[in-house]
Chain A
C-alpha cells in the first residue's frame, strides 16, 4: 500500500508550486490561483493524517470542510476586490498597483 510519506511529499510539492505562483505571477488573479493551490496542499495533509492516524474520528475531514468554506469566502472577496481594482485602475498587474508606496 501507499506509504504516508508519498502523500506528504506531494502536498509539500503542491504547496511550494503554489508559493511560487503567488510570488512570481504578474496577474493578481493568478496570485489567487496560487493561493488556492496552497490551500489544496493543506487539505491533502489534513485528509492524509486523518486517514493514517485517526480514521475512527472525523476531525480531519471536518477541518478540510472548514478549509473549503474559508477558501470559497477568500475567493469571493479576493475576486471582488480584483474586479473593483480593475474598474478603477484598468489593470490587474500586481506590480502596477503600488499606490501605497512611499
Chain B
C-alpha cells in the first residue's frame, strides 16, 4: 500500500460517494453542489494520471462553467420542484437493477481483457517530457488534430446560437 494507492482510494471514494449523492439527494441545489464535489474528485484522478492540463480544464470548464450553468438552471426552474417531493420516480428500483447490471457487464467485459489483471503501475514518463506543449501543438497542427479542434469550435458556436434561440422568450409571443 503505497501513498499513491492510499491517495487514489481516498479520491475514488470521494468521487463515487459524491456522485451517489448527486443522483439521490432530495434538494436539486444540493445535487448541483455534489456534482461540483464529484468533478473535483475526477480532476484529482486526472492529476494522479499526470494529466495536469486535463485536470485544470476539468476544473475551469466543468466546475467553473458547466456546474454554474446547472445551478442557474436549478434556480430558474425552482418554483415547481418543492423539495418535499420525492427525488426519484416510480421505476427507481428497476433503474437501480439496470445500473448494477451495467456495472456487472462492464466489469465482465473488462476482466476478459488481458491487461486488466496486471498489477503494474503506469509506465514512467520520460523525464522532461512536456505533455502540455505536445498537446497544444497537436491541437493546432494540420497534421494532427486541427480539423477536429476546429469542428469542435464550430459545434460550440452552433450550440451557443441554438441555446440562445431555444431559450429566447420573444419568439413565443
Task: Classify A-B as touching or not with yes or no (CB < 8 A).
Answer: yes
The CA-CA distance from A24 to B94 in the complex, in Å, is 9
Known contacts A1-B4, A23-B91; A12 and B121 CB within 8 A of each other: no
The CA-CA distance from A87 to B160 in the complex, in Å, is 19
The CA-CA distance from A87 to B35 in the complex, in Å, is 25
Contact residue among A3, A30, A43 (Cβ-Cβ distance under 8 Å from B28): A30
State whether B135 touches A25 (Cβ < 8 A): no
The CA-CA distance from A16 to B20 in the complex, in Å, is 10
State which residues 97-119 of B face A: CB under 8 Å.
Answer: 98-100, 102-103, 106-107, 110, 115-119
The residue of chain A having its C-beta at the shortest distance from the C-beta of B153 within the complex is A69
Contact residue among A17, A26, A88, A93 (Cβ-Cβ distance under 8 Å from B99): A17
What is the 8 Å Cβ interface bit string for chain A, positions 8-48, against chain B (1 contact, 0 not)?
11101111111111011111011011101100100110011
Residues of B with C-beta under 8 A to A40: 38-39, 42, 62
State whether A47 touches B16 (Cβ < 8 A): no
State whether B163 touches A61 (Cβ < 8 A): no
Q: Which of B120, B125, B163 has the most CB of A within 10 A?
A: B163
Residues of B with C-beta under 8 A to A3: 118-121
Q: How close is A48's CB to chain B, nearest CB, in angstroms?
A: 6
Chain B interface (Cβ < 8 Å from any Cβ of A): 2, 4-5, 8, 12, 15-16, 19-20, 22-23, 28, 31-32, 35, 38-39, 42, 45-46, 48-51, 53-54, 57-58, 61-62, 65-66, 69-70, 72-74, 76-77, 79-81, 85-89, 91-92, 95-96, 98-100, 102-103, 106-107, 110, 115-123, 125-126, 129, 131, 134-135, 138-139, 144-145, 148-149, 152-153, 155-156, 158-160, 162-164, 166-167, 169, 172
Please name the 7 residue pairs, one residue from A and one from B, whose CB atoms are nearest each other, closest first: A1-B121, A21-B23, A73-B159, A23-B95, A20-B99, A24-B95, A80-B163
